[in-house]
Amino acid sequence: MKNLGLVIESLHPLERQVLKHIKNNATANQIANLSGMKDVEVMRALQWLEEKNIIAMELKTAEIAEIDKNGESYLKEGFPEKRFLNVLVSSPLTLNQIKENANLNEDELKFSLGFLKNKKYIQMGKEVSITAEGKKFLNSKYGILGKLPKYISELNRDDLLLIEELKKRKNIIKIDSEKIYTVKLKEIAEQLLKSNLDVSLIDALTPNMIKSGSWKNKKFRRYNLNAPVGEAYGAKRHIVPQALNYARRIWLDMGFKEMTGPMIESSFWNFDALFTPQDHPGREMQDTFFIDETSKLPDGKIVSKVKKSHEKGWQYKWDEKTAKETVLRTHTTAISARTLSRLKPSDLPAKFFAIGKCFRNEALDWNHHFEFNQTEGIVIDPEANFKHLLGYLKIFANKMGFQKVRFRPAYFPYTEPSIEGDVYDTVRKKWVEFIAAGILRPEVVKPLLGTDIPVLAWGPGIDRMIASVYKLTDIRDLYRNDLKKLRTSEIWTR
């Protein structure tokens, strides 16, 4: 048997208050009504008493019938079928007259007409008249509505039949499940109920008590250091910015400098500067979000060189108006183009990276989103070659947690050679595309940089990699913000 005095000294004020109103087989709701405490306070106190092995709680689930919004309206104004019949007592009427006199909307009129015809409560002709059975029904009552809310188990047979009938109709009755906690007293609880629970104890030590010394020679409430506590979740960033910051750290550790640029971009930097022809399908509405405004072009010298590169390389008449169209950037490679145009010979060799959001007019599915994060990279170095490109990409993928990486030939208007890269997704057990890369063509480099030297370039779509690391089978789950998943997710420390 526990020491009763020690148990009393361990009781929280909420537990003491509950014990004053507790009895065997009482429910949590009954205790809350008797004590005037909030439901959450009663439940907390009962859980603590159960942990101290003073009481036991039994949980049952009960169905409760409650009146819904249409039911509340009908309780005041009358049911539509009753209002329909009521206006027919004096004389037969047309449907339009019934609708107006009974104040019925179209749905209520249709329901009432079908219901009353089926029950033979009305007789149809040029006008509608009430039958003898209809008059009897008019005098009956939907008395159950005035009794709600009620537990289903407390209803008699007639009320249950009426409930089943009303459930078939829209927003009259709703059935909810309610958890009922019943208290079972243990032997020590019976002793506590006979004891004096009004013991003077200090529950919390405040700064004022410490300063004044008023805590001296007083008893503190006893605490159970082994009591179970709720899970605590440390503060952390959302998984997406966590991953982006981790990727940023990888590039910085590899000696790259960060470059930035606008998300609302001109077609010149997004397409033209990258040697994408103005009639390329990728520039059409099905792939690109266009904004209804005109962008400014850079100084005439760069524009002139880009124009010349297009007209010589693609053999068509380059249009300045098309280059001024404004878009939500479709890739972060637009930032690379801007960066190359600002470099001087004394800046070389150089390595840059960018991390940013891009937008494409894609159909949403498990593997595609209309907005996504991309990490851009360029290396400008006379000594750079294709093997260096593959090396940078493989190192980045490995550091992001993917040991299996493969590359295959591809085509892009602004790189030659061009490749696409895949990482192996261990969740879906399949290869997932994550990167487009290559060496920028002279038609891109010479107009922007002024000379033709090797420029390695790449742009991994990082969202698919994040989804794989967190074992998400749908890329849309990255932004659904399930709090439980976010709280329990691992911090990005690969």
pLDDT, tens digit, 9 for 90 and up, residues 78-96: 888 888 888 888 888 888 8
Q: Among 77, 26, 82, which residue's Cα sits nearest to residue 55?
A: 26
Predicted local distance difference test score (pLDDT) of residue 203: 84
> What are the pLDDT digits (tens) for 266-316?
999 999 999 999 998 878 876 899 999 999 999 879 999 999 999 999 999
Is the pLDDT confidence value at 145 over 80?
A: no
Which of 108-112, 168-172, 242-246 shows the highest mean pLDDT? Answer: 242-246
419 pLDDT band, cuts 50/70/90, is: very high
Q: CA 184, CA 26: separation in Å to the nearest integer? A: 8
Q: Among 414, 424, 406, 409, which residue's Cα sits nearest to residue 455?
A: 414
470 pLDDT band, cuts 50/70/90, is: confident
Is the pLDDT confidence value at 1 over 60?
A: no
Who contacts 284 (Cβ-Cβ below 8 Å, separation ≥6)? none
68-77, 127-136, 346-355: range with lowest mean pLDDT:
68-77
464 pLDDT band, cuts 50/70/90, is: confident
Cis ω for the linkage preceding 417 (within 30 of 0): yes
Is the pLDDT confidence value at 491 over 80?
A: yes
Average pLDDT over residues 438-465: 92
The count of C-alpha atoms lying within 13 angstroms of the C-alpha of 234, restricted to the half-sphere facing its C-beta, is 4
Which of 22-36, 142-156, 325-339, 417-431 shows the highest mean pLDDT? Answer: 325-339
Is the pLDDT confidence value at 236 over 90?
A: no
Residue 371: phi and psi, rounded to 5, are -135, 145
18 pLDDT band, cuts 50/70/90, is: very high
Residue 431: phi and psi, rounded to 5, are -80, 135
Who contacts 416 (Cβ-Cβ below 8 Å, separation ≥6)? 438, 439, 441
Fold of domain 1-79+142-230: Arc Repressor Mutant, subunit A (1.10.10)
Q: CA 454, CA 440: separation in Å to the nearest integer? A: 7
Is the pLDDT confidence value at 447 over 80?
A: yes
Percent of the chain with pLDDT over 70: 98
**Where in 284-414 does DSSP place strands (E)?**
290-294, 325-328, 350-359, 371-380, 405-412
Q: In what order do the strands lie in the sheet with 405-412?
A: 257-258, 350-359, 371-380, 455-458, 430-440, 415-425, 405-412
Is the pLDDT confidence value at 356 over 90?
A: yes
> What are the pLDDT digits (tens) for 253-268?
999 999 999 999 999 9
Is the pLDDT confidence value at 162 over 90?
A: no
Crossing angle of helices 28-35 and 39-51, in 10° steps, is 120
Average pLDDT over residues 177-197: 88
Domain edges within the chain: 1-79+142-230, 93-141, 240-488
Q: Answer yes or no: same fold for 1-79+142-230 and 240-488.
A: no
Residue 60: phi and psi, rounded to 5, are -130, 150
Mean pLDDT computed over every residue of the chain: 88
- Give the residue ranges of DSSP H helices in 174-254: 187-194, 207-212, 239-253
pTM (two decimals): 0.61
State the CB neighbour count (10 A cutoff) for residue 466: 23
Q: CA 282, CA 330: separation in Å to the nearest integer? A: 9
Predicted local distance difference test score (pLDDT) of residue 2: 66
CATH number for the domain formed by residue range(s) 240-488:
3.30.930.10
β-bridge mates for residue 461, sequence order: 374
Tracing tokens 């400014």 back to the chain, one arrives at: 296
Residue 401 near residue 250, CB atoms below 8 Å: no
246 pLDDT band, cuts 50/70/90, is: very high
Amino acid (1-letter code) at residue 304: S
Residue 414 near residue 275, CB atoms below 8 Å: yes
DSSP 27: B
List the Cα angle 73/79/80 in 5-degree steps.
Answer: 110
73-77, 191-195, 429-433: range with lowest mean pLDDT:
73-77
Is the pLDDT confidence value at 143 over 70?
A: no
138-152, 404-418, 427-441, 446-460: range with lowest mean pLDDT:
138-152
Average pLDDT over residues 33-40: 91
Q: Among 120, 356, 397, 104, which residue's Cα sits nearest to residue 250?
A: 397
State the CB neighbour count (10 A cutoff) for residue 193: 13
Q: Among 394, 321, 20, 6, which residue's Cα sits nearest to residue 198?
A: 20
Predicted local distance difference test score (pLDDT) of residue 494: 55
